[in-house]
Amino acid sequence: MIRAAVLGSPISHSLSPLLHNRAYQVLGIAGEYSAIEVRSGELGTFLDSQSQEEWTGFSLTMPLKEEVLSFGFTTDQIALQSGSANTLVADGGTFRALSTDYLAFKNLLDISDNARVAVIGGGGTARSALAAVAKRVSGIDIYLRDLAKASRLQGAAPNTTLNPISYSDLTPQVLSEYDWIISAVPAGASDEIALSLSRADLNLRSTHLVEVLYNPWPTDLLMAARFSGAQIIDGLDILVEQALYQIEIFTQRNFDFSKMRQELLKTGLIALHS
């Protein structure tokens, strides 16, 4: 039987239990996936308190994606490179860490090698996106609220030129200059930009916005960009895509990603609209 959970704080809003449990139903697998509140600094205590043989694995959300790398688990190269792991898999009495966030971005973002790309934010999810995109483009602009974080980002994209820019320089007109914009900042952080964008008369039909948040959903930035004509990949798309890889890893089952993706997107949309 599969026994898994998503760990993080806050966690009550998480759609992951709904998605994973629905996938187990579709696959005809006995499984239980729950949500457990684990705050920053508490991951080690939580893991030590659990019998590792009873767990298949864990999904990790903030603030644990960086914290988990300090425990010495076997970790895949991409998670080390990006400094962020969102998955723990039971492995012979211990765990190994990996990043299905990276796999989700890599699969969903069809970016050409001459595209102009901006990433907003410098946390673990932003670094996973950088790692996925970096092999496709030669340079990426990164808008940061704290420019001191810039030094931590180059490891996620070692062969790509990263251009740190102050968040205060991010205007609607600047947004219109990019082919792809990946927003990976916390809830509310982009609201002022969204308000400015909603007041600007811009045509963003050649722009793709990737908004990693699904709570709140839709975000103000997503709605403003959509109104301006941008093509959207939203937080539910990202959540489902990274979950597909976790489900495959936890269940050790091969399944049709396309069919399961549609089922989980439908399940997520119903929940978001309820």
**pLDDT in the model for residue 135:** 84
Residue 47 contacts residue 74 (beta carbons within 8 Å): no
**pLDDT in the model for residue 51:** 80
Residue 184 contacts residue 119 (beta carbons within 8 Å): yes
**pLDDT in the model for residue 225:** 95
The contacts of residue 230 (CB under 8 Å, 6+ apart) are: 204, 205, 207, 208, 209
**pLDDT in the model for residue 251:** 97
**pLDDT in the model for residue 208:** 97
**pLDDT in the model for residue 259:** 98
Beta-bridge mates of residue 118: 141, 181
Q: Angle at which helices 16-27 and 257-273 pack, to 10 degrees?
A: 140
**pLDDT in the model for residue 148:** 87
Task: Report the predicted TM-score, pTM, of the whole model to 2 decimal places.
Answer: 0.95
CA distance 199 to 172: 9
- The DSSP output letter for 154 is G
Residue 25 contacts residue 37 (beta carbons within 8 Å): no
Place of tokens 């082919």: 179
Domains of the chain and any CATH numbers: 2-98+237-273 (3.40.50.10860), 103-233 (3.40.50.720)
**pLDDT in the model for residue 274:** 82
Beta-bridge mates of residue 60: 7
Residue 143 contacts residue 166 (beta carbons within 8 Å): yes
In tens digits, what is the pLDDT along the chain, a chain of 274 residues? 999 999 999 999 999 999 999 999 999 999 999 999 999 999 999 999 988 789 999 999 988 999 999 999 999 999 999 999 999 999 988 999 999 999 999 999 999 999 999 999 999 999 999 999 988 998 999 999 999 888 889 999 998 999 999 999 999 999 999 999 999 999 999 999 999 999 998 999 999 999 999 988 899 999 999 999 999 999 999 999 999 999 999 999 999 999 999 999 999 999 998 8
